[in-house]
Structures are given as C-alpha cells and as structure tokens.
Homo-oligomer: A and B are copies of this chain.
Amino acid sequence: MSSKNYEQLLVKFKEILKNQNLKYTAQREMILKTLYKNKKHFTPEELQDNIKHNYPKLNIGIATVYRTLNILEKFKIVTSISFGQSGKKYELAIKPHHDHLICDMCGSIIEFEDKDIEKKQDEIATKYGFLITSHILQLHGICKKCRNKLKEKKIGIK
C-alpha cells in the first residue's frame, strides 16, 4: 500500500537526519511528501510553487528547497537530471535506476530501463580502468504526441 511506503521513506529520512544532527522540520517533510505524491520530475521552483499552493499556511523559501534537495541528493533519496539550459530536475530515487527519453518539443519525460545497456557500460568502464559511480543516458527527440501534432499540421486538417 502506498501510504505504507511513504511511512517507510519518512522513517528513513528521519533516521538520516538524526544521524547527521539535522532537524526534522515541516518544510523538509513537505518537500519529501510532494516528491512522493507526484512521482515526477520537479525543478526547485516547481516544487516550491506546488507546496505553496497545497499548503498555503506553510511559508517556504526557495533557499530551503535548494538546501533540502541538496541533502536529499547527498543521501540518495532523490536524483537529479539536468539538460539544456533549463537547470536541474529532481525526482525520488525510490524507483529502480532508469534512463530518460526527453521530448525537446513539449519537454515531457518518459522513463525506461535496459539491462543490456547497463551491462555494456560496465564492459566499457572495465576496458578503461574506470570506476563508474553513476551514469546519465538521455535520448532526445520528439515524442509520439508531438509527432502526431506535426503530422496533422502537415496534412492540414481544416
């Protein structure tokens, strides 16, 4: 059940905070909860907007969002991807590792994972004596929806 999963996640977060002499605050919980509930990629600004909208009583500054995301990323509770000029986007790291198809027309992100590619990557690293700690694989292009839109335009429906 998903509320159970959230509880587990929260416990983990609290433990990390305790171990690091950091404090458990309402702002930090709302950031974690928002990432959990929405299961999507957020820019820091989007996160702040979302929290301001859903919890108007909780005053939350952008600096706090950045500070909290940095903690969450450091302890691998979230991961980030960055592309183009548009800064970083964050998501919860509770999903198994996966890569991204990114539509350059509408900005939508599709996730996928592929064991064969991962295996190949390890082979390449070994060849160069390189120790991989993480990887980024982004396939850029145009998603199905946008391709259809383009087709419609070309056919010229009146």
List residues of chain A with CB under 8 Å of any chain B CB: 82-83, 101, 103-104, 110, 112, 114, 116-117, 120-121, 124-125, 128-144, 147
Contact = CB atoms under 8 A, between A and B. Distances in A.
A142 B130 contact: yes
A65 B130 CA distance: 33
B132 A140 contact: yes
Contact of A124 (B101, B130, B136): B101
Contacts of A125: 101, 139, 141
What's the number of copies of this chain in the assembled complex? 2
A130 B104 contact: no
A101 B130 contact: yes
A106 to B, nearest CB: 12
A134 B101 CA distance: 10
Given A82-B82, A140-B136, A124 B131 contact: no
B117 A130 contact: no
The 6 closest A-B pairs by CB, nearest first: A129-B144, A132-B141, A133-B141, A136-B138, A131-B142, A131-B141
